[in-house]
Amino acid sequence: MKKNFAEKSKNGTFLGMLALMSATSFLFNSCDQQNDKKKSEKTISTVHPVAKIVPQIDNEEVPSDKRVIYLTFDDGPNQGTENLLRILNKRNVCATAFLVGQHAYGSKKQKDGLELLKNDPLVELANHSYTHAHNKYTDFYRNPEAVVRDFDIAKDSLRLTDKIARTPGRNIWRLNNITATDLKSSALAANSLQKAGYKVIGWDLEWKPTNNMALKGNHQTMLKKVDSIFFNDLEKTSRHLVFLTHDQYLTDADSIDELDLFIEKLQKTNRFVFRKISAYPKINEILN
């Protein structure tokens, strides 16, 4: 019988220190300290709470019995952005928001969403293009120079201080140590972004939507997928998993609850730490 993730860990691969005291856990989970709300609480507060200041832990080594999860959310600010922030603050867990420039100024609600994102210490902002390719991805990637220009406009309009980026509609990686392109027709544009100094990050696991733009499936299924990726070493970087979903999938009560439960269950295992994407291994190296 194939060993499950926990069994594998007990054999020395991962969970050799699962029984660590919670005090030890506190040292390594600065971005995801649990608050003292009742365990039975299922709803998200309608008042956006003040985030706690998150200690800088980007340069700390990850203990051998831990795995790192990078929560990332695309296409914001959008419907669901405020709900996302409420979840992150409820669980005191950090994340990265990959923003679309046009979305940031599309409406008063989106402008307000951008301000909330900017002012939340649990969240860092990254570049997801200015136009999101107008959702015409094939045409967009045919013109590498226009792709770089689009990201430059987003960087300037959003006043982003780093050049961490994610390509719209494509799972592309361009770091010094990782080169991956899901569709070869996008490779030249991806190479151009790298030459322009962009550190392009894709993802290892995506929580996809239903036809009604709600989160598809449930948190139990996603937890199993997390275990499977780590068990089979399917991450781009061993022991580091980049998780993706989108703000706009968080507009119904069920989706909000499922994401909240997903994060809560990950925290309770004492197996994971959460980091912002700027802490991803080797992401800050100078690009070749």
Domain-located, residue 16:
no
Q: Write the pLDDT tens digit of every residue in 271-282.
A: 999 999 999 999
User: What confidence category does residue 103 fall into, taking pLDDT thresholds of 50, 70 and 90?
Assistant: very high
pLDDT at 7 over 90: no
Domain-located, residue 174:
yes
**pLDDT of 17:** 40
Q: Write the pLDDT tens digit of every residue in 211-224.
A: 999 999 999 999 99
* Mean pLDDT computed over 64-89: 96
Tokens 């993730």 — which residue? 5
pTM of the predicted structure, to 2 decimals: 0.82
Domain hosting residue 129, numbered range = 5-10+62-279
Domain-located, residue 30:
no
Residue 135 · residue 129 · CB < 8 Å = no
Domain-located, residue 177:
yes
- How far apart, in whole angstroms, are the C-alpha atoms of residue 29 and residue 269? 12
SS3 label, residue 116: helix
Beta strand extents in the chain (DSSP E only): 67-76, 95-99, 123-127, 164-165, 172-174, 179-181, 199-200, 205-206, 240-246, 272-274
Domain-located, residue 25:
no
- How far apart, in whole angstroms, are the C-alpha atoms of residue 165 and residue 186? 15
Number of domains in the chain: 1
Domain-located, residue 40:
no
Q: Higher confidence at residue 23 or residue 135?
A: 135
CATH code, domain carrying 255: 3.20.20.370
Domain-located, residue 287:
no
Tokens 């061993």 — which residue? 238
Domain-located, residue 133:
yes
